[in-house]
Amino acid sequence: MTRRRSALYIAAEVLTPLLIVIGVLIFTNGSAGFYFPPLQDVLVAFQRNWLFDRFGTDILPSLGRLFAGYLIAVVLGVALGVLLGHVRWLRRQMSPIIEFLRAIPPPALLPFTIIAIGVDSSAKIALIAFICIWPVLLNTMDGIAGIEPTIKDTGIVYRIRGRDSLLFVELRAASPQIFAGMRTALPLALILMVISEMVASTNGIGYFVIQSQRTFAIADMWSGIVLLGVLGYLLNLIFTLIERRALSWYLGARATTR
């Protein structure tokens, strides 16, 4: 009974995506209209554009900006978060400002970076970093401020001080929350990469997609959209793997207490 049931579930997991792909194939080959070209055309365009014709000219610059901005945000966010997590009065005074800056919807800052920094790569990196820093900062701050006193006391008893205490006790204890912040920041980085390339750019995936749309190269446009979807999926997957590895001690400890 249960075996038949699990076989049914697995069949459902495999069959539904297959059925959907077939459905899309039939729909786009039928009377879907000009904006929904046949799926095979999109796949051909995908292969022609991204494997690997435009890999160096569009994908690499895009990913470079994405990771540069994201890394800056993580490093600065963790550093400032540790500072604010330690100093209570500073945390109280700064939190209204942080709350406000965080609440500004990211694209609203795009015109600002265009005016202040320009339209080159550094402006896009700055924008990504500026938006991605808040979730990391807030989570680090809360994580550091909320470390269990027992953990700190134990560290003091063992005379773990200064740099060792920061690296091996505090950051370690706060790392589940820091990772939660980094996870929130990752899709933001991807979104901002695309938006910043759509508005003012001369290369990148976002630029390619919007340029294809303007020239009515619909299959090319869809190939870009599919690529962005695949990128989002892959980034999420890679992050989950890294997180699982880095937090294995924590996840393991939690699983046993369940």
Measured from the Cβ of residue 70, the count of other Cβ atoms closer than 10 Å reads 25
Q: Is 80 in the site for another protein (CB under 8 A)?
A: no
Q: Give residue 76's identity as a one-letter amino acid code.
A: L
| Binder among 4, 31, 52, 97 for another protein (CB under 8 A) | 97
In 3D space, the residue among 179, 102, 192, 178 whose CA is nearest the CA of residue 141 turns out to be: 178
| Binder among 59, 125, 209, 219 for another protein (CB under 8 A) | 209
> What's the N-to-C CA distance of the chain in angstroms?
28
Q: Is 1 in the site for another protein (CB under 8 A)?
A: no
Measured from the Cβ of residue 68, the count of other Cβ atoms closer than 10 Å reads 18
Strands (E), 71-126: none
Q: Is 38 in the site for another protein (CB under 8 A)?
A: no
Q: Is 64 in the site for another protein (CB under 8 A)?
A: no
DSSP state letter for 106: G
Taking the least distance from each CB to another protein, the nearer of 34 and 52 is 34
CA distance 68 to 243: 19
Taking the least distance from each CB to another protein, the nearer of 33 and 162 is 33
Q: Is 116 in the site for another protein (CB under 8 A)?
A: yes
Instruction: Compute φ and ψ for 118, nearest 5 degrees.
Output: 115, -160
Q: Interface residues for another protein in 215-254 (CB under 8 A)?
A: 218, 221, 224-225, 228-229, 232-233, 235-236
Could you list the residues that contact another protein (CB under 8 A)?
A: 8-10, 12-13, 15-17, 20, 35, 90, 92-97, 99-101, 103-112, 114-116, 187, 190-191, 194-195, 198-199, 206, 209-210, 212-213, 218, 221, 224-225, 228-229, 232-233, 235-236
